[in-house]
Structure 1
Amino acid sequence: MQISSDGQLLTTSLIITFRGRILQVNDIIIDTGSSHTVISPDILEEIGVLYENL
């Protein structure tokens, strides 16, 4: 994993694998004070991850 900095934000790329399908998401902001990571459901639909409201 390579971490980049623009002087204010730390960013990296994220590779997600789901059921054999691979998706690379670039420019993920690293927030060291956050307790969770949120990835947009719209992006994940590209590899078959679907959002369900239960």
Structure 2
Amino acid sequence: MPHKKLHLATKDCRVCGRAFAWRKKWERDWNKVLYCSQRCRKASKQTFEQST
């Protein structure tokens, strides 16, 4: 049985650098997705607050 999910678009997370794949829930705003997880999103906000 061939799988269709082998050729999904991928991006690198801005915080951890890990590659993550396109998901159906990100269909509308894939261009705006920058982080692989909520943990990385929170970590980016913490580093931003510490730098100011």
Q: TM-score, normalised by structure 1?
A: 0.31
Q: Which has the higher helix share?
A: 2
Q: Which has the higher strand share?
A: 1
Structure having greater relative contact order (Cα 8 Å, sep ≥ 6): 2
